[in-house]
């Protein structure tokens, strides 16, 4: 069932700040993610991507600025926000002693689904993600399988917004293709996807809008076409914008 949508952006962030000691992990970030978009959030290691997504999910508090998600304000309406989002975290927050079916049923129940509905949806998602493994507990899953079950869990309550931190990390080509197809279907029905990844090829294939963060600040935001307006590849534009294209020292012996 498609979403009715709304006039507010899926994500609206203004002046967002987060400090660890005296160091700013996020330093005055402004960000707007339109509803129904497939949004790539890029940056080098330590740029502030994961910190930003943890603030958006309510896992850590911001030290300054404002956040609105689907028209709701953080932190005042945090519970309402969580009921409308699906999360695929960088470090899979899974219960290793449960089977995939038990975990998905648990997540469904946490989102308020009746038990028969949660069980039915869990079975359907296990089939969809090719995770029908007899009584195998999640602790025995490979990293790629853990990512698949995490994505399955993010879908069970039919969310309007997905927040995904490196969702394809450790996933093989077949599993990644399956996950990409499912995400495309979600965007077609009106959902919004906010994705962090280091794999620029994934962004070029999936995303229609991109923001790049470096040293805690947004250096650019716009459509893929705007970022590549000069004929550059996304990789060339990314390297230029984060200042990583300077001549590097060479080792004589290497």
Residue 249 — pLDDT band, cuts 50, 70, 90? confident
Positive or negative, the Cα torsion across 148, 32, 84, 54? positive
Residues 6 or more apart from 233 whose CB is under 8 A from it?
A: none
> In this structure, what are the phi and psi dihedrals at residue 239, rounded to the nearest 5 degrees?
-60, -40
Residue 226 vs residue 11, higher pLDDT:
11
Cα-based distances in Å from 104 to 59, 110, 117, 137: 21, 10, 11, 12
Question: Residue 3: is its pLDDT beyond 80?
Answer: no
pLDDT tens-digit series, residues 168-216: 888 889 889 999 999 999 999 999 999 998 888 889 889 999 999 999 9
Residue 104 — pLDDT band, cuts 50, 70, 90? very high
Residues 6 or more apart from 94 whose CB is under 8 A from it?
A: 103, 138, 146, 149, 150, 153
Question: Residue 245: is its pLDDT beyond 90?
Answer: no
């Amino acid at each position: 069932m498609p979403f009715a949508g709304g006039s507010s952006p899926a994500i609206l962030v203004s002046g967002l700040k987060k400090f660890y000691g005296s160091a700013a992990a996020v330093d005055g970030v402004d960000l707007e993610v339109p509803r129904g978009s497939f949004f790539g959030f890029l940056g080098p290691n330590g740029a502030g991507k994961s910190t930003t997504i943890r603030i958006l999910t309510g896992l850590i508090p911001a030290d300054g600025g404002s956040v609105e998600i689907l028209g709701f304000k953080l932190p005042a309406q945090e519970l309402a926000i969580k009921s409308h989002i699906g999360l695929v975290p960088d470090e899979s927050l899974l219960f290793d002693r449960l089977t995939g079916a038990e975990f998905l049923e648990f997540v469904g129940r946490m989102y308020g689904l009746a038990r028969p509905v949660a069980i039915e949806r869990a079975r359907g998602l296990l089939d969809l993600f090719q995770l029908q493994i007899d009584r195998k507990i999640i602790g025995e899953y490979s990293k790629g399988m853990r990512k698949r079950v995490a994505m399955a869990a993010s879908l069970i309550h039919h969310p309007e917004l997905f927040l995904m931190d490196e969702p394809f990390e450790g996933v093989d080509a077949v599993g990644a293709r399956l996950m990409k197809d499912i995400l495309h279907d979600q965007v077609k029905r009106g959902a919004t996807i906010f994705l962090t990844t280091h794999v620029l090829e994934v962004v070029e294939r999936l995303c229609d809008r991109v923001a790049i963060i470096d040293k805690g600040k947004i250096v650019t935001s716009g459509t893929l076409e705007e970022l590549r307006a000069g004929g550059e590849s996304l990789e060339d534009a990314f390297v230029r914008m984060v200042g990583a294209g300077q001549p590097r020292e060479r080792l004589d012996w290497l």
